[in-house]
Structure 1
């Protein structure tokens, strides 16, 4: 939790004993215990409220799937780029692509589509007043 190991917690405790002294240490330890208990109760209350508002769907939710730590942008992009699409769908997409996008996709894919006529080329909108 927060990168704290037992040794670090022990050092923090020893420093606290020296700084606070034996008189105030039990008072501050009790306050810390109450704070942790209140935070835990608040978290449980929020969880119960969400469970009440969402109903039975809350228990059916796969929380591991929604964990933001599992998202690796490199993996997502790699999977999206290596995703195999059917040839017909790919050729339809390439025939509607702009020349810039077509050059990004590669000339090998375009050569299989045949020659392009000027009427089939659509240009991206251009705003002359844009800064």
Structure 2
């Protein structure tokens, strides 16, 4: 309840007794009770209004999935990299399959032209996945030098 433990609640009650006084304390307790009840009614009214507005779609929403506390930035980045890796791998496989079918068609036509196709394929730059780029950069990194630190950015 609002991040207040038992000891803190007891201290608040004692402070309320001293500040408000024992004569007016029941009156303020009743006002607090009415305020809490009114807030609960307003929250339920808002929930009912949203349910009416969205209709059956409201019950189909996975609210756990939308909870911001469950988001881990490391997991999100890792999943994005894996998705990008799989997309790159699929495009490489498609290129290889089309290149393989082109090579077989050219081999049937003439033997000399396949050498030109092989040299053209080798001259194309290799597309690295993000993880492969990271691994290549890790090898090249000089570990004796610290990463640059910008004091104005913090």
Match of 1:107 in 2: none
Match of 1:115 among 119, 123, 131: 123
Secondary structure in structure 2 of the residue aligned to 1:4:
coil
CA distance in 2, matches of 1:22, 1:68: 44
Measured in 2, the distance between the counterparts of 1:48 and 1:77 equals 37
TM-score normalised over the length of structure 2: 0.55
Unaligned runs of at least 5 residues, structure 1: 93-112, 118-131
CA distance in 1, matches of 2:123, 2:14: 79
Aligned to 2:66: 66
| 1:19 and 2:27 aligned | no
Q: Supply the distance in 1 between the matched residues of 2:79 and 2:13 (Cα, whole angstroms).
A: 48
Which whole-Å CA distance do the structure 2 matches of 1:4 and 1:90 have between them?
57
Structure 2 residue runs without a partner (length 5+): 95-120, 126-154
Normalised to the residue count of structure 1, the TM-score between the two structures is 0.64
Shift of 1:91: 7.7
Runs of 4+ in 1 over 4 A off after TM superposition: none
> What is the rounded CA distance, in whole Å, between the counterparts of 2:14 and 2:54 in structure 1?
46
What is the total number of aligned residue pairs between the two structures? Answer: 97
Alignment partner, residue 33 of structure 2:
33
Alignment-derived partner of residue 114 in structure 2: none
- What SS does structure 1 have at the residue aligned with 2:3? coil
Q: Show CA shifts across 1:24-75 (max 9, x none).
A: 1111111111111111100000000111111112122221111111112222
Aligned-pair Cα RMSD in Å: 2.2
CA distance in 1, matches of 2:54, 2:90: 43
